[in-house]
Amino acid sequence: MNIERRVVAITGAGNGIGAALAREAANRGAAAIAVIDLDLDAARRVANEVSAAGTPAQSYQCDVADSDALDEVAGRVVSDFDAPALVRANAGVGSEVKPLLAESPANLKWILSVNVVGAWATLSAFGRRMIAAEEPGWLLVTASEHSLGVPFPGNGFYTMSKHAVLALADVMRHELPPHVGISALLPGLVATAFSRSTTRRPAEFGGPGAENETARALLAQGMDPAIVARAAFDGVHAEEFLIATHAHARRYWQQRCTDIDQAFTVLAEGEIGSVSYDVMEIAARLAAPGSQ
């Protein structure tokens, strides 16, 4: 998928990976870049930086958890530029590190509203317009190493949300028409201000929390966002579904695969054995002539 001389739209683009993606899109010859963020001032700074370097860019303020607002922004982007060739659903939040049984329903709703509903709303609002444009396009969603397993306990709501994001992308790749593809980015630790996300939690979800200093120190040791952005665009160019950026994350998936393999080994040795109840196989049998 080639973005040269095409429009790119990125959510969560006011800082971190999103801002790096905006800069990399400009480096790769994008015609224009829509910089979308909850923080309009941050979005403006990135858009102004990209524009000053020679690529037209426009900032847009939006809470991705508000699907109606996001749909309106998508319409404005198409009106201001054109249907994007690449849409990057990057906005996401995390929260305080604590065990799941010590968590609150309000915090769960906040994380899911941004990380899951926001990802779906972004892909939906732009994806429908990309499909209608009938031009080659690509969707890119930020999953995480947390989509592959459990890197560490204590961040359960974030981990479950990123499992959901990977599932969202996986289902969508089977539903999209041939001219629109999708990738899921799987970053690990990246040097961003992600630890500050709790400080912006709305009152309806429990209000702002303090930045975790340990998390801040850990993030400072992470990968340069510019490296992640280059890997993301390389993966999109190669039309890869999963785009890995951190080699250590492979072991989270390997542990999951080991657990799954063990479960099915036990199943095969038991009473149920290998009898198949595959829904698609059964549906095909029911749909076959003379099956009724």
What integer is the mean pLDDT of 266-273? 87
The pLDDT value given to residue 15: 92
Q: Is the pTM of this model over 0.85?
A: yes
Please state, rounded to an integer, the average pLDDT across all residues of the chain: 94
Q: Where are the beta strands (DSSP E) in 100-235?
A: 137-142, 180-186
The count of residues in the chain is 292
What are 138-181's pLDDT values in tens digits? Answer: 999 999 999 999 999 999 999 999 999 999 999 999 999 999 99
The predicted-structure confidence for 88-133, as pLDDT tens digits, reads as follows: 999 999 988 899 999 999 999 999 999 999 999 999 999 999 999 9
Q: Could you read off the pLDDT of 205-245 as tens digits, one per residue?
A: 999 998 888 888 988 999 999 999 999 999 999 999 999 99
Instruction: Give the residue carrying structure tokens 């690509």.
Output: 138
- Asked if 197 contacts 95 with a C-beta cutoff of 8 angstroms, the reply is yes
Helix (H) or strand (E) holding 243: strand 242-244
Rounded to 10°, the helix 156-175/118-133 angle is 20
What does DSSP say about strands 32-37 and 57-61: parallel, antiparallel, or unpaired? parallel
Tokens of 269: 């040795």
Provide the pLDDT for residue 213: 85
- Taking alpha carbons only, the member of 2, 241, 27 closest to residue 136 is 2
- Burial of 78-96, coded b for 16+ CB within 10 Å and e otherwise, reads beebebbbbbbbbbbbbbb
* pLDDT of 96: 87
Who has greater pLDDT, 274 or 118? Answer: 118
3-state DSSP assignment of residue 154 = coil
By the 8 A CB rule, do 64 and 86 touch? no
Buried-exposed string 238-256: b where 16+ CB fall within 10 A, e elsewhere: eeeebbbbbeebeebbeee
Residue 27's pLDDT is 96
* 3-state class (DSSP) for residue 50: helix
Q: Model confidence over 27-77: pLDDT tens digits?
A: 999 999 999 999 999 999 999 999 999 999 999 999 999 999 999 999 999
**Residue 292's pLDDT band (cuts 50, 70, 90):** low
Residue 193 has pLDDT above 90, yes or no: no
